[in-house]
């Protein structure tokens, strides 16, 4: 494609930022969506342009279906298309199920699962018309195990739901030349957790070390490549064999 456009939610920092910078080196046009990280979003936009890409940073709460649809329309109006949707945004908190509030419970679904539904509905028409497109959703390692998670129950259910939604979207969109896959990271040094906290979990990882953002970026690069054109509905674990 002469013009390649990606929309990345949660693209201001961490793994989303890493993906954006990798695409920038390949001269993509990249829209990053953020909710609160304005300073980081501006820095990432500058880094994208410095690497040869084009950048757009948009503040949007994608848990709002109207806002999510408007986000897609804004990117398509600016660049006329969206070739890739990467759903990387999603809140997280750790609290015992019986201490969880109704607001906290709902936030895990409205922030992690629902935006993928809203955004997929919004980008699908354009992708169908072009007979091409890639959607990548971020779940979490061990979300497919269906085990008890007393301190992250709602978050865990939402991430398991992402896997079901990914497979459903893949089946519906495959006839139109569109692939939909999931990536499930384990412990990744993305800047969201203190180094000492990550060091404490290393002994639980069979590979013996914490993953890097580049490990996840490499998986995204593969799923966007021509080599992955027949990979659809898959879930790639990036965890060093933790959580399987």
Question: By the 8 A CB rule, do 122 and 68 touch?
Answer: yes
Q: Does the residue 126 lie in any domain? A: yes
Q: Does the residue 32 lie in any domain? A: yes
Q: Does the residue 244 lie in any domain? A: no
Q: Is the dihedral of CA 61, 62, 63, 64 positive or negative?
A: positive
Question: What is the distance between the alpha carbons of residues 172 and 176, in angstroms, rounded to a whole number?
Answer: 8
Place of tokens 């919004």: 122
Q: What is the CATH number of the domain that holds 215?
A: 3.40.50.720
Residue-range definition of the domain harbouring residue 229: 5-238
Q: Does the residue 196 lie in any domain? A: yes
Average pLDDT, integer, range 106-128: 98
Tens digits of residue pLDDT in 27-55: 999 999 999 889 999 999 999 999 999 99
Q: Does the residue 99 lie in any domain? A: yes
Question: What is the distance between the alpha carbons of residues 19 and 111, in angstroms, rounded to a whole number?
Answer: 20
Percent of the chain, pLDDT > 90? 92
Phi first, then psi, for residue 193 (nearest 5°) are -125, 145
Whether the pTM exceeds 0.85: the reply is: yes
- What is the number of domains present in the chain? 1
Q: Does the residue 243 lie in any domain? A: no
Q: At 165, is the pLDDT very low, low, confident or very high (cuts 50, 70, 90)? A: very high
Q: What is the pLDDT of residue 202?
A: 92
Tens digits of residue pLDDT in 192-226: 777 777 888 999 999 999 999 999 999 999 999 99
Cα–Cα distance list, 225 to 33, 47, 221, 231 (Å) = 23, 23, 6, 10
Q: What is the pLDDT of residue 2?
A: 60
Q: What is the pLDDT of residue 125?
A: 98
């Amino acid at each position: 494609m002469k013009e390649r456009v990606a929309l990345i939610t949660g693209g201001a920092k961490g793994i989303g930022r890493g993906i954006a910078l990798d695409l920038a080196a390949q001269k993509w046009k990249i829209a990053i969506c953020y909710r609160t990280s304005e300073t980081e979003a501006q820095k990432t936009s500058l880094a994208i342009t410095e690497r040869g890409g084009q950048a757009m940073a948009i503040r949007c709460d994608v848990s709002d279906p109207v806002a999510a649809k408007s986000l897609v329309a804004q990117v398509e109006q600016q660049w006329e298309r969206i070739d890739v949707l990467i759903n990387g945004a999603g809140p997280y908190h750790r609290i015992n199920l019986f201490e969880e509030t109704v607001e906290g419970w709902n936030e895990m679904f409205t922030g992690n699962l629902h935006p993928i539904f809203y955004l997929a509905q919004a980008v699908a028409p354009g992708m169908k018309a072009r007979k091409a497109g890639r959607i990548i959703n971020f779940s979490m390692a061990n979300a497919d195990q269906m085990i008890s998670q007393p301190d992250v129950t709602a978050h865990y259910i939402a991430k398991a739901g992402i896997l079901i939604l990914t497979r459903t979207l893949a089946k519906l969109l495959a006839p139109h030349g569109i692939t939909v896959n999931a990536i499930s990271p384990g412990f990744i040094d993305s800047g969201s957790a203190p180094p000492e906290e990550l060091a404490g979990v290393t002994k639980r990882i069979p590979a013996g070390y914490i993953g890097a953002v580049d490990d996840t970026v490499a998986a995204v690069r593969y799923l966007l490549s021509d080599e992955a054109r027949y990979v659809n509905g898959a879930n790639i674990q990036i965890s060093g064999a933790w959580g399987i």
